[in-house]
A and B are shown apart, each in its own frame.
Chain A
Amino acid sequence: MGYFIELVISGLAIGAIYGLVAMSFAVIYKATGIVNFAQGEMGMLTAYTSWSIAVTLGTGGVLTVLTAVVVGAVLGLLCERLIMRPMLGEPVLSVVLVTVGLAVVLRSIVTIVWGAAPHKFEVAGADTILQIAGIGIRVSQVTVIVVLLAALGGFWFFLRHSRFGVAMRAVAADEKTARLMGVSTARVQAVAWAAASGLAGLAGAFFAVIYGLAPTIFELGLKAFPATVLGGFDSIIGSGASGLIIGVLENLVGGYLPSTLKEIAGFVLILVVLMVRPFGLFGEKRIERV
């Protein structure tokens, strides 16, 4: 039983990271109708940049988290302004393929600049082990779960009660009408990219702190896909929560079944989910039958 609970708790920690990335997918999808395949790479680049900043300036725990958010958001704004904005109005296929191209470029740039060797992302106090009900859990793992819950709450409040959040939902629901009502779709897109990259940056930084900094962080994007699909692409809160489900599932599969299955557990799950509910667990129903 102790083993099971340990698996669930460490699954929740990795699931929280997936959840953050899954939320960032959903934010961009909801605001612009495209899937950003470069999300994992954004997180990776942010993690490496904030590592360099942390090493040079010696920033502490909270400051490192803030750096990650800011670096991620700036990166997102840059990508939006330089690459995505000129593609406004192009077919969805082209825009999505541009993000695929962006993903490949970012991934390789990180490897060229920082090298392929793994590093340890040292943050003071992150590795301290807390004893909760007899189970050891690291401070960083607890923090990432708290951060995910905070992000979920924050986004829920933002989308429901802030003026800009309502504008964002309006753009997602009907872009043309939103424009007629005086909502600037370009600004909504920019903010969505900044917010999403901030989330992805957080996820990347936490992943690096907990599991080490290596060029394979970009796989976070692939791993978080199942969570986004499970939650439904247009449901930000649902995607975040599904991250936890995927994380726990993956860890349980890895704990009790052969380890190769761990890598594909999430993908097998989404294949099943997509067959049964093609719009995700929490997504808006849009029936497609042929």
Chain B
Amino acid sequence: MRSGFFKQRYAELVVLTDSPAVKAWTAALVIALVAAPFIVSSFMLSHLTVILFTIVGALGLMVLTGFTGLISLGHVGFLMLGGYAYAIGVTRMGWPPEAALVLSAVVPAVFGLIVGLPSLRLHGLYLAITTLAFSHIVSASILAGGKFTGAGKGIMIERPVLFGMSVASDRAFYWFCLIMCVAAVLLTLNLRRSYVGRALVAVRDNDIAARTMGVNLWRYKLLAFLISAAITGVAGALMGMYASIVSVEGFPFLLSIEALAIIIVGGIGSVLGAVFGAIFIVTLPEVFSWLVKIGGGRLADLMTTSAHEIRSVLYGLAIIGFLRFDPRGLRGMWHDLRHTWVQWPLRF
């Protein structure tokens, strides 16, 4: 058991981790993830890829809803903008994929600022409705965009060649998603421990107190929207690359709910929570359908005919269940487990 937490410098207080064990395990995890494509099956590999870009998207929502406490029901709008910005940049404007990827962060960020403006005057629920309205407006405008946005048909895109390396193969794309995911995790972790992150959390916990302590609400609420939309937009571009197509049907409203489910299940307000939540929510339908297949019978038929509905029911039940029984989410459970492991046989 470790004891005597004695900090002398400010930097020691905000350091990501001071535990050699955590560093060692993180290194082992990263090595395992990098080596994964050589070991796991191709089905498992695509599942891992989905988890990776879902984590990026969930982190985007986490910055806004988890850190800053602004509920967004329209995150699929930013996802859509990111995906379309990338696709339009590559196919319509002939930009190199690297530049289009930057565009997929910039375009949603600009729209994030626009959506963020009412957040300065609106209370939680009204804001949630504004973002909901925003996502509907985005999908309606894309459908009305004619040839430029591909309207109802969407835009086909190919897996790009980035910095001289092709990510066309599933393995290469997995590594690319891994890099983006690690970058997003590092970005949000560092954001959370910096002045900006603390200001955002202060706005969430008590905006009047935060303001009294010199946090400019106007600036930090908008900044939260900006960062959140940019990260989510990149996730949208990754989604588009994975599916090789961006279309309005590819970004259903359910994704907004899925993102909310992820951060609730994982634990609101923590980066680790977003990671746990994404793994749980993406894996849940797979595990469920596997269980049903073992059970067989009529339920299995239902599973094949209405997979989308079953998935929604599972998300909904996960949201209700976690909020009802353990609002701290999976991260809270992990916290308890770790403490039990470290402090055993003591209780606390």
A in complex with B? yes
Q: Verify if A174 is at the interface (C-beta below 8 Å from B).
A: no
Q: Verify if A229 is at the interface (C-beta below 8 Å from B).
A: yes
Contact, CB under 8 Å: A104 / B122? no
Q: Verify if A103 is at the interface (C-beta below 8 Å from B).
A: yes
Q: Which residues of A contact B261 (CB under 8 A)?
A: 101
Q: A222 touches which one: B128, B132, B207 (CB < 8 A)?
A: B132
CB-CB nearest in chain A for B253: A222
Contact, CB under 8 Å: B218 / A105? no
Known: A86-B324, A87-B324. A105 touches B316 (CB 8 A): yes
CB distance from A225 to the nearest CB of B (A): 6
Chain B residues numbered 307-340 whose CB sits less than 8 Å from any CB in chain A: 308-310, 312-313, 315-320, 323-324, 327
CB distance from B329 to the nearest CB of A (A): 11
Contact, CB under 8 Å: B217 / A111? no
Q: B144 touches which one: A229, A260, A289 (CB < 8 A)?
A: A260
Contact, CB under 8 Å: A94 / B121? no
List the one stretch of B91-99, B133-141, B233-241, B283-291 in contact with chain A.
B133-141
The distance in angstroms between the C-alpha atoms of A270 and B98, with both chains bound, is 38
Q: Verify if B27 is at the interface (C-beta below 8 Å from A).
A: no
Contact, CB under 8 Å: B133 / A270? yes
Interface string of B130-158 (1 = CB under 8 A from A): 10110011001101100000000000000
CB-CB nearest in chain A for B151: A260
Contact, CB under 8 Å: B306 / A111? yes
Contact, CB under 8 Å: B260 / A97? yes
CB distance from B342 to the nearest CB of A (A): 30
List the one stretch of A54-62, A193-201, A261-269 in contact with chain B.
A261-269
Q: Which residues of A contact B126 (CB under 8 A)?
A: 229, 233, 274, 278
Q: Verify if B13 is at the interface (C-beta below 8 Å from A).
A: no
Q: Verify if A83 is at the interface (C-beta below 8 Å from B).
A: yes
The distance in angstroms between the C-alpha atoms of A274 and B327, with both chains bound, is 31
Q: A104 touches which one: B124, B132, B218, B316 (CB < 8 A)?
A: B316
Q: Verify if B125 is at the interface (C-beta below 8 Å from A).
A: yes
Contact, CB under 8 Å: A264 / B136? yes
Known: A108-B309, A108-B310, A112-B302. A222 touches B136 (CB 8 A): yes
CB distance from B102 to the nearest CB of A (A): 28
Known: A105-B312, A108-B316. A98 touches B124 (CB 8 A): no
Q: Which residues of A contact B264 (CB under 8 A)?
A: 97
Q: Verify if B33 is at the interface (C-beta below 8 Å from A).
A: no
CB-CB nearest in chain A for B71: A93
CB-CB nearest in chain A for B137: A264
Contact, CB under 8 Å: A96 / B118? no
Interface string of A77-91 (1 = CB under 8 A from B): 000000100110010
Q: Verify if B254 is at the interface (C-beta below 8 Å from A).
A: yes
Q: Verify if A173 is at the interface (C-beta below 8 Å from B).
A: no
Q: Which residue, A35, A104, A105, has most C-beta atoms of chain B within 10 A?
A: A104
Q: B73 touches which one: A92, A100, A289 (CB < 8 A)?
A: A100
CB-CB nearest in chain B for A86: B324
CB distance from A281 to the nearest CB of B (A): 14
CB-CB nearest in chain B for A96: B125
Contact, CB under 8 Å: A263 / B140? yes
CB-CB nearest in chain A for B317: A105
Contact, CB under 8 Å: A102 / B136? no
Contact, CB under 8 Å: B136 / A288? no
Contact, CB under 8 Å: A104 / B137? no
Q: Which residue, B129, B137, B144, B260, has most C-beta atoms of chain A within 10 A?
A: B129
Q: Verify if B193 is at the interface (C-beta below 8 Å from A).
A: no
Known: A98-B323, A108-B312, A109-B313. A288 touches B123 (CB 8 A): yes
CB-CB nearest in chain A for B312: A108
The distance in angstroms between the C-alpha atoms of A35 and B129, with both chains bound, is 10
The distance in angstroms between the C-alpha atoms of A97 and B264, with both chains bound, is 9
Q: Verify if A290 is at the interface (C-beta below 8 Å from B).
A: yes
Contact, CB under 8 Å: B118 / A290? no
Contact, CB under 8 Å: A104 / B312? yes
Contact, CB under 8 Å: B320 / A105? yes
Known: A100-B260, A263-B136, A288-B122. A225 touches B129 (CB 8 A): yes
Q: Which residues of B contact A270 (CB under 8 A)?
A: 129-130, 133
Q: Which residues of B contact A226 (CB under 8 A)?
A: 133
Q: Which residues of A contact B313 (CB under 8 A)?
A: 104-105, 108-109, 112
Known: A97-B260, A105-B313. A271 touches B122 (CB 8 A): no
Q: Verify if A2 is at the interface (C-beta below 8 Å from B).
A: no
Q: Verify if B196 is at the interface (C-beta below 8 Å from A).
A: no
Contact, CB under 8 Å: B144 / A271? no
Contact, CB under 8 Å: B118 / A274? yes
Q: Which residues of A contact B118 (CB under 8 A)?
A: 271, 274-275
Q: Verify if B257 is at the interface (C-beta below 8 Å from A).
A: yes
Q: Which residues of B contact A (CB under 8 A)?
A: 69, 71, 73, 118, 120-126, 128-130, 132-133, 136-137, 140-141, 143-144, 207, 211, 217-218, 221, 254, 257, 260-261, 264, 302, 306, 308-310, 312-313, 315-320, 323-324, 327
Q: List 23 A-B contacts (CB under 8 A).
A: A34-B125, A35-B128, A92-B124, A94-B323, A94-B327, A98-B320, A98-B323, A101-B316, A101-B317, A101-B323, A103-B316, A104-B315, A104-B316, A105-B313, A107-B312, A225-B132, A260-B140, A261-B140, A267-B133, A268-B133, A271-B118, A275-B121, A290-B217
Told that A102-B320, A260-B143 touch, could you supply 6 new A-B pairs with CB distance under 8 A? A37-B73, A94-B323, A264-B137, A267-B136, A268-B133, A274-B118
Top 10 A-B pairs, shortest CB-CB distance: A101-B319, A105-B316, A267-B133, A104-B316, A108-B309, A108-B312, A101-B316, A101-B320, A260-B144, A290-B120
